[in-house]
Amino acid sequence: MARYLRHLCLVACAAARRPTPLRATCVRGGADDFDDAVGAAFAAAAAAAEAETLKASTQIEEGKAVEALGSVLGGAYDKALAAFDAQAPAGAAEDRARLEEAIDASLELLFVKQLALVRAKLLKEDLGDVEKVVSTLDDAAEAARRPRATWESASESAAAAAVAREVRSRQAKVADVTIKAQKQQQAYLQVFQLYQAQIAQLKQAVGESPATLQMSYRVPDTDLALSASRSDDRTTLSLTCVPDDSAPLLGPQGFVRGITPLDLGLTLNLHI
């Protein structure tokens, strides 16, 4: 920003260097002296404006909006002209007009960058609210505009409103499709539940019992037995620890030997 400001002032200064009439040379002390004085006044104006806008320019370049930017730019504009008036020779009204245009153009660049930051933030946070986007951007433009400046911000507001309207339209379409899909899914679920209820009623009326498939296997030389059954779309796995049927149960001590952990059964069922 500072380089751009100095460049504009140098352009304005170069434009100010014009042939001085001979009759004015005697009064001014020479065209070169007059142009040097105007150039020094331009440099002083650029330095004053740069000092006032350096902090705000740095903050905007970092992606942070400057609060009350209009007041900052207004102060920079007034101090730049005051610095020029303090050093400019008499008869430099035309040069002052060029300086005003150059300073105004450089400050407007900060104004445009600030609006771009505000618009980007709005489009991230309030995409669906077109009125809020436009109102907030207009308020931001008013706060960032230099007093008495004629900087235009309607194009920024129109562009932001167009993006917000497009996003809101897409959001409405997505919401409509989602609602229709939910209704269709609910209808399918109701039909499925109705069919299930009808099948259950038919089975109950016919008295049909569901088919059952059972299998079992006892591991040799162990007390473990595995069994599996399938009935009504449900699978059951069973692990059983059976009593030791080979223990001697006869004789005087048969009863005593029979009451041991070997005669206790254990069953584990898993339903899948």
126-157 confidence digits (pLDDT tens):
666 777 778 888 888 899 999 988 898 888 77
Bridge partner list, 214 = 229
Q: Please, what is the average pLDDT of the chain?
A: 76
pLDDT (0 to 100) of residue 154: 83
pLDDT (0 to 100) of residue 27: 38
**Exposure string for 65-94, b = 16+ CB within 10 A, e = fewer:** bbeebbebbbbbbbbbbebbeebbbeebee
The mean pLDDT value for 222-243 works out to 77
Tens of pLDDT along 8-50? 454 444 444 443 332 233 334 455 788 888 888 889 998 998 9
The mean pLDDT value for 241-245 works out to 63
Q: How many CB atoms lie within 10 A of CB 161?
A: 15
For residue 271, what pLDDT band results from cuts at 50, 70 and 90?
A: low
pLDDT (0 to 100) of residue 214: 80
pLDDT (0 to 100) of residue 15: 46
- pTM of the shown model: 0.54
C-alpha distances (whole Å) from 118 to each of 137, 157, 268 are 7, 11, 68
| Residue 45 CB partners (closer than 8 Å, separation 6+) | 9, 80, 81, 83, 84, 99, 103
Q: Domain map of the chain by residue range?
A: 2-170, 212-271
* 102 and 43 Cβ atoms separated by less than 8 Å: no
* Amino acid sitting at position 3: R
